[in-house]
């Protein structure tokens, strides 16, 4: 299953850092999520949604 984090982030005109700050993680976490190299915890997935 592919995620749409990058697509949705760009549609909202947000940088990776802005999204990271909004959900209280590092920008490296957002990069890993967008590259599908990391699966978020339930709580992180909830905060992103």
* Dist. CA 38–CA 14, nearest whole Å: 20
**3-class SS at 40?**
coil
| pTM listed for this prediction | 0.87
| Top CATH class, 5-48 | mainly alpha
11-40 pLDDT tens trace = 999 999 999 999 999 999 999 999 999 999
pLDDT computed for residue 1 by the predictor: 62
pLDDT band at residue 2, thresholds of 50, 70 and 90? confident
Burial 9-46 (b: 16+ CB within 10 A, else e): beeeeeebeebbeebebeeebbeebbeeeeebeeebee
The domain spans of the chain are 5-48
Q: What is the DSSP letter of 36?
A: T
């Amino acid at each position: 299953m592919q995620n749409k984090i990058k697509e949705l982030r760009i549609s909202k005109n947000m940088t990776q850092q802005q999204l990271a700050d909004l959900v209280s993680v590092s920008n490296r976490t957002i990069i890993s999520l967008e590259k599908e190299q990391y699966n978020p915890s339930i709580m992180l997935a909830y905060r992103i949604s």
